[in-house]
Amino acid sequence: MPDKIVKPDEEWRKQLTPDQYQVTRGKGTEPAFTGKYWNHHEDGTYSCVCCANPLFQSDTKFESGSGWPSFSAPVEPDSVATETDTTYGMRRVEVVCNKCGAHLGHVFEDGPKPTGLRYCMNSAALNFEKK
């Protein structure tokens, strides 16, 4: 993984829309079935909206029924990192961009084979580049 990106909060606020900032830097969640990529089916690569780090390929995207874009695996194992999230009285595994620390969503162990994982991401945390 290339060098980590660290910016002051005011720079992130200038770079991102209010929704992108709230999700990626404020660890927010967009409402289900509202993000631009939850029902998106083009071939290409999803990257971090903050730093352009490639995160997920469209061939790992699947319909989870959750209302958020869901993927079975990241582009590379070190594209993302995980952290324990105990907010809202739950114990979940948060997924962050391994390059800039942006909150992307959560990962669950109810995905398809072969990984069995469901990376449930926020559209506001992603950009998409068509193949």
The residue written with tokens 């992603």 in the block is: 126
H-only helix segments in 1-131: 9-15, 18-24
What is residue 68's predicted lDDT score, i.e. its pLDDT? 97
Four-residue CA torsion sign, 130, 11, 74, 64: negative
Chain segment 78-98, per-residue pLDDT in tens: 999 999 999 888 899 999 999
pLDDT at 64 over 60: yes
Active site residues: 120
Mean pLDDT (the chain, rounded)? 95
pLDDT at 2 over 70: no
Residues facing 126 on adjacent strands: 48
Given a contact cutoff of 8 angstroms between Cβ atoms, the answer to whether 30 and 124 are in contact is yes
Closest CA to 62 of 116, 130, 6: 116
